[in-house]
């Protein structure tokens, strides 16, 4: 298969599997999404979705958030991990949103990346899911699958994002990045991978990946 044929195959299969695409992190507006995505770093969506209601009950906007101390925020978000860094980031970005943006989350990805504790992936998720601006946030699932499918070198997430944006139509980015994440979790995980269930990789996967899979399976 050529890369363009692989892309067409992926799009069709993902549309069949995920005609309705759930958003992994619970939120009600751009601000609560921004906080939820920040909290999700090196954590799980399940853990974040259990923690954010407790935080948002106290403060679901930047004006209320800065009424809390960094220590209070830290105590609430401890279950998600990295709470010292994340609590400072949440307090700091909330203060900046009030001072510079009247409490509103900016739509510009570059402005978002200037906020404390907000990296490129977080900013990309926010502009994509909160504002509908085309972006292709690359998480570990997308990075893994782009390599398995022979669509990227797998060297780093920066290159993977460039390859994804080059190969997939811009108007599909926002849906596709979520569809690939769900597919990676359900059918093509890093651990406990069953290639027989992973129809996309089984059909279009990089030969090296497929050969390594079968060699490992035989060695068990």
Same domain, 116 and 38: yes
When pLDDT is averaged across residues 90-95 and rounded to a whole number, the result is 98
* Separation of alpha carbons 111 and 82, rounded Å: 24
Last residue in a domain, options 131, 147, 177: 131
Number of folded domains that form the chain: 2
Same domain, 11 and 71: no
3-state secondary structure of 127: helix
123 contact partners, CB below 8 Å, separation of at least 6: 109, 112, 113
When pLDDT is averaged across residues 22-26 and rounded to a whole number, the result is 92
Measured N-to-C along each axis, helices 120-131 and 173-186 cross at an angle, to the nearest 10 degrees, of 110
Do residues 45 and 93 touch, judged by C-beta distance below 8 A?
no
Same domain, 117 and 196: no
* Separation of alpha carbons 180 and 121, rounded Å: 15
Assess if residue 41 is contained within a domain.
Answer: yes
Same domain, 15 and 38: no
Query: Which pLDDT band, with edges at 50, 70 and 90, does 220 fall under?
Result: low
Same domain, 35 and 127: yes
* Separation of alpha carbons 161 and 15, rounded Å: 21
pLDDT of residue 189: 97
Same domain, 209 and 167: yes
Same domain, 166 and 103: no
Assess if residue 37 is contained within a domain.
Answer: yes
Assess if residue 93 is contained within a domain.
Answer: yes
Residue 203: which CATH number? 1.10.1670.10
Nearest in space to 169 (alpha carbons), one of 22, 19, 12: 12
Assess if residue 194 is contained within a domain.
Answer: yes
Same domain, 153 and 111: no
Q: How many CB atoms neighbour CB 21 within 10 A?
A: 17
pLDDT tens digits, one per residue of 158-214: 999 999 999 999 999 999 999 999 999 999 999 999 999 999 999 999 999 999 999
Residue 54: which CATH number? 1.10.340.30
Assess if residue 174 is contained within a domain.
Answer: yes
* Separation of alpha carbons 77 and 81, rounded Å: 7
Same domain, 119 and 80: yes
pLDDT tens digits, one per residue of 43-61: 999 999 999 999 999 999 9
Last residue in a domain, options 131, 156, 182: 131
Return the active site residues. 121, 139
Same domain, 82 and 51: yes
Domain that holds residue 120: 30-131
- CA 191 from chain centre, in angstroms, equals 19
Mean pLDDT taken over the chain = 96
pLDDT of residue 23: 87
Same domain, 124 and 82: yes
Last residue in a domain, options 131, 157, 190: 131
Assess if residue 25 is contained within a domain.
Answer: no
Same domain, 108 and 158: no
* Tokens describing residue 125: 């998720």
């Amino acid at each position: 298969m050529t890369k363009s044929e692989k892309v067409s195959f992926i799009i069709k299969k993902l549309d069949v599997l995920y005609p309705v695409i759930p958003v992994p992190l619970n939120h009600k507006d751009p601000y609560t999404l921004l906080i939820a995505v920040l909290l999700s770093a090196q954590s799980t969506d399940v853990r974040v979705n259990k923690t954010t209601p407790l935080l948002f009950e106290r403060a679901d906007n930047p004006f209320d958030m800065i009424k809390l101390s960094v220590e209070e925020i830290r105590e609430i978000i401890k279950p998600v991990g990295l709470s010292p860094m994340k609590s400072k980031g949440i307090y700091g970005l909330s203060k900046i949103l009030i001072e510079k943006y009247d409490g509103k989350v900016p739509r510009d990805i570059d402005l978002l990346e200037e906020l404390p504790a907000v990296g490129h992936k977080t900013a990309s998720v926010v502009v994509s899911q909160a504002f509908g601006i085309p972006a292709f946030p690359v998480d570990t699932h997308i990075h893994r699958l782009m390599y398995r499918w022979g669509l990227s070198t797998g060297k780093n997430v920066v290159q993977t994002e460039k390859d994804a944006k080059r190969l997939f139509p811009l108007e599909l980015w926002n849906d596709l990045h979520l569809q690939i994440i769900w597919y990676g979790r359900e059918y093509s995980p890093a651990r406990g991978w069953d290639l027989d269930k992973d129809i996309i990789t089984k059909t279009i996967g990089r030969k090296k990946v497929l050969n390594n899979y079968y060699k490992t399976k035989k060695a068990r």
